[in-house]
Amino acid sequence: MLITQLKSKETIEALAKGKTVIINCHGCKEVYFPEQEAAELQKELSVGGNVTEIITRDYICNPDNLRFQLKKFEDKIKDADTVLVFSCGVGVQTVAAFLEDKKVFACCDTCPLPGFQGVTPLEFDCGQCGECYLNSTGGICPITACSKSLVNGQCGGAKNGRCEVNKDMECGWERIYRKLEKLGRLDTLKYEAKVRDYAKPFKESKDEG
């Protein structure tokens, strides 16, 4: 689940060369896909008559589903010079792998969605650091709630509870302090200084790639 943004109109126009088939993915639309903007842009691209098909499906990141859904358009795709994909990077790569011989282009840039999870965006984020600090911090994450990801207390730069990096943000460490104070557990903060092991998440990950 990711956020997709359209690439600039000029970029997309330059990509649409020759007969073009467009594939839209609406799978994560409820999270974020610029449906209206994409539709308008595709209308403009269609004016010249080179867009031979606009296909809108969901979850094209699932290769089986993609194959099944594109079957109907086999001839149009075969005939096309270019396939433009409006989806996240996973979707584009899945299409590119399936249509190995075709020029498959991405029309979106993909941005991370805070807190990749089963449900729609939460106000919390998890940095997947692999060494959960929440036990020392009253359940408020210093990696994501502190803009400097400090693990041993505040930097001292906050003013009136606001972060010096981002004034819209509360100082994470002040929040941690207040939460622990409320729970009567301020002594928790007397832990030995921690050193963050940046390699840890990768050691733990099953990710071989």
Partner 1 sequence: MEDYTKFKLKRAEELIPLLADKQNIFIVACNKCFKEFETFDEPECGEFERLAKEQGKTLTGCAKVDFLCNKTTTAKRLQSVLPAETENVFVISCGLGIQTVADLVEKPVFAASDSIAYRGKHGMALTKTRCDACGQCYLNLTGGICPIVDCSKSLVNGQCGGAKNGKCEVNKNMDCGWQKIYERLEKQGLLSDFLNQPVQVRDYSKVNFKLINEYVKSVREKRFDGYYGGIHPSEHKEYSEHLSLKNFPEVKTVVIPMSQHAGAPAEPIVAVGDIVKVGQRIGEAKGFISANIHSSVSGKVIAVEPRPHATNGSVMSVVIESDGKNTPHESVKPAGDLDSMTSEQIIDLVREKGIVGMGGAGFPTSVKIKPPKPVDTVLLNGCECEPMLTADHRVMVEYADDIIYGLKALLKASGAEKGIIAIEDNKPDAVEIMQAKTANIDNIEVVVAKTKYPQGAEKMLIKRVLGRSVPSGGLPADVGAIVSNVSTVKAVSDAIKTGMPLIERVVTVTGERIKNPGNYVVKIGTPVKALVDYCGGVTSDDVTIKMGGPMMGFELKDLGVPVMKGTNGIIAIEPVAAEPSPCIKCGRCADVCPMELKPLYFTKYAGTENWQGFKDQNVMDCIECGCCQTICSSKIPIVSMIKIGKKAIREGK
Site for partner 1 in 140-199 (CB under 8 A): 140-141, 144, 179, 183, 185
- As to burial, measured by CB atoms within 10 angstroms (0-12 exposed, 13-18 middle, 19+ buried), residue 110 is middle
In the complex, least distance from residue 46 CB atom to partner 1, rounded to whole angstroms = 14
Which range in 42-50, 138-146, 148-156, 157-165 contacts partner 1 by CB under 8 A? Answer: 138-146
Q: Which is nearer to partner 1, 112 or 157 (CB)?
A: 112
Q: Which is nearer to partner 1, 118 or 156 (CB)?
A: 118
Pattern of binders to partner 1 over 8-47, x per CB under 8 A? -------x----------xxxxxxx--x------------
Q: Which is nearer to partner 1, 10 or 64 (CB)?
A: 64
What distance in Å separates the CA atoms of residue 160 and residue 169, rounded to the nearest whole number?
A: 11
Tokens of 7: 């690439």
Helix (H, G, I), strand (E, B) or coil at 134: helix
Count Cα atoms within 13 angstroms, Cβ side, for 53. 19
Applying the rule CB under 8 A, the residues between 81 and 110 that interact with partner 1 are 88-97, 100-106, 108-110
Applying the rule CB under 8 A, the residues between 41 and 80 that interact with partner 1 are 57-59, 61-65, 68-69, 72
Q: Which is nearer to partner 1, 34 or 153 (CB)?
A: 34
Q: Are strands 108-111 and 3-6 parallel, antiparallel or unpaired?
A: antiparallel
In the complex, least distance from residue 47 CB atom to partner 1, rounded to whole angstroms = 19
The whole-angstrom distance between residue 156's C-alpha and the CA centroid of its chain comes to 32
Does 139 bind partner 1 (CB under 8 A)? Our answer is: yes
In the complex, least distance from residue 180 CB atom to partner 1, rounded to whole angstroms = 9
In the complex, least distance from residue 149 CB atom to partner 1, rounded to whole angstroms = 13
What distance in Å separates the CA atoms of residue 92 and residue 86, rounded to the nearest whole number?
A: 8
DSSP string, 4-70: EEEPPHHHHHHH--SSEEEEEE-TTHHHH--HHHHHHHHHHHHTTS-EEEEEEES-TTSHHHHHHHH
